[in-house]
Amino acid sequence: MANMFPNNNLHFINLPAGSGKTTRIKEQVCERLIKEPDSHILVITYTNRAVKELEKQHFDSRVEISTIHSFISKQIGPFFCVKNIVNEYFKCFENEIDALLKDKKRIERIERFQKENNFEAFLTIDNIRQLTERVKYGKRQYSDYLHAELSHDDLLTFYVFLLDKYPMFKYRVGEKYQLIIVDECQDTDPRVLKRLASIAQDFSIECYVYGDLMQQIFNKDENQLRGALNCFNPDKPESVKNHRSAPQIVKMLNKLYDDKSLEQQSSEKLCNYKSVIELYIGNDQEQTVENIRAEARSNNEPLPMSLVVFKKERFEHYDLSEIYNAYDRLEKYKYGNRFNVLDVLLPEHYDSTPDDIVRFMFTIVRLKESAESNQFSSIVQILRNDFHKSYDSLLDTNGVVSVSILFKYIEELREITKFSNYTVKKILDWASSRALVDHDWAEGILEEDVYTKVKMWKNKEAQIRENAYVQNVKLEQFEKLYELVEHPEKSHCSTQHGVKGEGHESIIFEMEDSLKYEPFLPMYQCMRLLVGVNSFNLDYLFNKYNEIQNYWEEFTFDAMFEAIKSQDGDSGSELFYEIVLEEIKKKYDKKSDEEKKKAYRKYIADLMMAFRIFYVGCSRAKSILRVVMNKKELEKLGIVDSLGEKFKELGFNVIRDK
């Protein structure tokens, strides 16, 4: 496909892990400010953590650094009370609101809304529009359509909707900035990337998007993402240096990446860096990990960071079984849904969890910590950001925080220090009585389907007896969880998502399939392909992902398979089709052709994710990388010996249990 905008001002810089993208961005901003002192620069990052890292450079007001959600909120938020924009909200989300009003399961919520607005007539979209004075950004997982409160995703949707309709919002960006930089563009919403490209083109803004397609480990439509990036001219760097890892690890990563144009060289300062790179094939994977940790301690090595895909045992290790079990039973977060338990309980940052209650309880934890340590300014900040009503009550007639009112309020907040054994329900009741949160919200949230619908077990009574519902989880569980989220370096156990962008001296990659939760990761089947397919890389899988399109309409699933195989013909491809076909026959044999074709594409997307997860995990290691695999899983696939040989080729020392 040809570039949509083949202009010289649109640039895509694809750089592998460890190549110093953040450093390049800092240098680019500094150079631009020196050459063009009047420039205004926008830098968009994916996470709050990345914002903080860039802010360490202490740029002046000419440089705006923001997450995409914060930036968009600033762009359209000031207009949320304008009547036309409120009307546009109802046009944009008309279908969602209509579905809500027709949903019999939401009657209680609708009745509450009617009661709070003294409205007794039959509720329609027009009625809600008349009752709505402004749109709000709720920073939550789900939009509250009745109160016009947008979630994270719907904020992006609404922004795209307004951009397409009102040129004014394009001008707010186009007239202000002369340089736009997007970091981690592979994680940015493709719709937003396309609109930024269009604005940059229309206003002749230099626009650079930095990223790495091999590090796209959040579920996104592969074609949409690549289509958006196709708007930008790919800039191939003359040389790529790795500033994180020892030479032996860099050499292995190059072989995994398998792209000569992006082959990394070790940074000069790391050329003499000693390294350990090992594959352990063990009978007991957990015991192998414990042995590695014990040996690391005896050798005075850095404490290893274990990377896992998903492990219930991780929560048990930190005495978090109570909260894990409660959330694991919710229908909303079961396999196949948009968010899972891992997304909810272990977000990248405390305010990025997609669950309302977890986010609320994290705020309570922060208030508790601030009250215990007499951090008065922190209390004010938390109230201002999260509990607006309480913050307003601190202000005097001049709109300034009253010291006397604040100290009186702090005395009340000290109650929180006694709350560790309080349940979610008790704390919600307390917060409601202190006007920290809206009474109706506190009353209604535990009645939401998210928290009332639980997975049905064979023995329902036993489930009820265990009483492991979210409302009964104690604050102390959220305190431990908050510490784990905010200080993952102390845990020495994380997911590949949790350490994205980080480097650690010693990494243990614990190979495991995730066949129950999203992302669905067939890690061992991916290893089977790595062993059996020549030139196995991301592009290979992407081409397989798209080839089905040529056969979708005309062929049955079985005929499609034969047609595709006849086009290919090499032994590596035969193995690929064997693996995929085995999986689909196992799960979808009695399904329709359409469902089988969708399953085909989904499974290839899962294989791509598994390959990326392995690459990202290995690329976190600075000097010591140990991969641990289960011997029984490899024996099932018949690849114990061949995998060992493949990993020797990659540069690993292979250690096998007898």
CA–CA gap between residue 575 and residue 99 (Å, rounded): 45
DSSP state at residue 110: H
Residue 528: pLDDT band (50, 70, 90) is: very high
pLDDT of residue 518: 58
**pLDDT-derived band of residue 336, with 50, 70 and 90 as boundaries?**
very low
Q: Which of the pair, 645 or 146, is modelled with greater confidence?
A: 645
Distance CA 349, CA 353 (A): 7
**Rounded mean pLDDT of 399-412?**
77
**Cα of 151 vs its chain's centroid, Å:** 15
pLDDT at 310 over 70: no
Check if the beta carbon of residue 636 is closer than 8 Å to that of residue 239.
no
How much is the pTM? 0.77
Provide the terminal-to-terminal Cα distance of the chain, rounded to the nearest Å: 52
Residue 653 confidence (pLDDT):
97
Q: 630 has which bridge partners?
A: 282
Tell me which DSSP letter residue 36 carries.
Answer: -
Residue in the block written with tokens 């569980």: 477
Q: Of 25, 16, 21, 53, nearest to 249 (Cα)?
A: 16
Residues 6+ apart with CB under 8 A from 122: none
Most confident listed range (96-100, 344-348, 423-427, 634-638): 634-638
Q: How far apart are CA 128 and CA 147, in angstroms?
A: 8
Contacts for 111 with CB less than 8 Å, ≥ 6 apart: none
Count the helix, strand and coil residues of the chain and give each as a percent rounded to the nearest 5.
Answer: 55, 10, 30
pLDDT at position 654 over 60: yes
**What CA–CA distance (Å, rounded) separates 407 from 11?**
53
Q: What is the mean pLDDT of residues 141-166?
A: 90
Which range has the worst mean pLDDT, 78-87, 164-173, 531-540? 531-540
CB 165 within 8 A of CB 85: no
pLDDT grade, residue 495 (50/70/90)? low
Residue 531 to residues 366, 520, 534, 564, Cα–Cα distance (Å) = 48, 21, 8, 22
Higher per-residue pLDDT: 625 or 571 = 625
- DSSP annotation of 498 reads T
pLDDT of 456 reads 61
Task: Characterize 505-528 residue by residue with b for buried, 16 or more Cβ atoms within 10 angstroms of its Cβ, and e for exposed.
Answer: ebbbbbbbbbeebbbbbbbbbbbb
**Segment 110-122, tens digit of pLDDT:** 887 888 788 777 8
C-alpha–C-alpha distance, residues 320 and 312, integer Å: 10
What is the percent of the chain where pLDDT is above 90? 43
Residue 251: C-alpha distances to residues 275, 453, 616 (Å): 12, 50, 15
Using pLDDT thresholds of 50, 70 and 90, give the confidence band for residue 405: confident
Residue 174 pLDDT > 90: yes
The rounded distance, in Å, linking the Cα atoms of 361 and 80 is: 28
| In the predicted structure, residue 106 carries a pLDDT above the cut 80 | no
Largest CA distance in the chain: 81
pLDDT value at residue 352: 78
Q: E strands of 354-439, at which residues?
A: none
The 10s digit of each residue's pLDDT in 468-478 is: 588 889 999 99
Give the per-residue pLDDT at 11.
Answer: 96
The answer to whether the CB of 343 falls within 8 A of the CB of 218 is no
User: Cα–Cα distance between 251 and 247 in angstroms, integer?
Assistant: 6
Can you tell me the distance from the alpha carbon of 394 to that of 410, in angstroms, rounded to the nearest whole number? 11
519 has a pLDDT exceeding 70: no
Mean pLDDT of 369-384: 84
The DSSP result for 188-243, as a single string, is S-HHHHHHHHHHHHHTT-EEEEEE-GGG--S---HHHHHHHHTTSEE---S-EEES
Sign of CA dihedral 420, 423, 428, 430: negative
Q: What is the DSSP string of 539-572?
A: HHHHHHHHHGGGGTTTS-HHHHHHHHHHHH-SHH
Greater pLDDT, 133 or 440 = 133
Across residues 329-355, what is the average pLDDT? 74
- 280-292 confidence digits (pLDDT tens): 999 998 889 889 9
* Confidence label for 3 from pLDDT (cuts 50, 70 and 90): very low
Considering only CA atoms, which of 266, 181, 196, 204 is closest in space to residue 231? 196
Asked whether the beta carbons of 532 and 624 are under 8 A apart, the reply is no
Those residues whose C-beta lies under 8 Å from the C-beta of residue 507, and which sit 6 or more positions away, are 304, 305, 307, 617, 618, 620, 621, 624, 625, 626
Per-residue pLDDT of 433-462, as tens digits, reads 877 777 777 877 877 767 877 766 555 444
pLDDT of 1 reads 40
**Binning pLDDT at 50, 70 and 90, where does residue 521 land?**
confident
- Region 216-223 average pLDDT: 80
Instruction: Name, in order, each residue with C-beta under 8 angstroms of 630's C-beta and a sequence gap of 6 or more.
Output: 282, 285, 511, 512
Rounded distance, CA 484 to CA 25, Å? 30
Checking if the pLDDT of 221 tops 60, the result is: yes
Contacts (Cβ under 8 Å, ≥6 apart) of 136: 80, 147, 148, 149, 150
- Predicted confidence at residue 311, as pLDDT, reads 56
Instruction: State the pLDDT confidence band at 381, using cuts at 50, 70 and 90.
Output: confident
39-55 average pLDDT score: 88
Q: What's the CA gap between 521 and 628, in Å, rounded?
A: 16
Phi, psi angles (nearest 5°) of residue 463? -60, -45
Looking at residue 494, its amino acid is: S
What are 148's two structure tokens? 């016009």
Q: What was the pLDDT predicted at 572?
A: 64
Question: Which 3 state secondary structure label does DSSP give 533?
Answer: coil
> Average of pLDDT values for 382-411?
77
Higher pLDDT, 491 or 114: 114
Q: What is the mean pLDDT of residues 540-560?
A: 88
What residue has token string 């208030």?
367
Position 121 scores a pLDDT of 76
Could you count the other beta carbons within 10 Å of the beta carbon of residue 571? 11
Measured CA to CA in angstroms, residue 556 lies from 221, 420, 455, 576 at distances of 24, 59, 36, 19
CB-count burial class (<10 Å; 0-12, 13-18, 19+) for 90: middle
Dist. CA 539–CA 544, nearest whole Å: 9
Is it the case that residue 616 has pLDDT exceeding 90? yes
* Pairing state between β 240-242 and 653-656: unpaired
Q: What is the mean pLDDT of the chain?
A: 85
**pLDDT higher for 464 or 120?**
120
Judged against a pLDDT cut of 50, whether residue 359 lies above it is answered with yes
Distance CA 504, CA 49 (A): 16
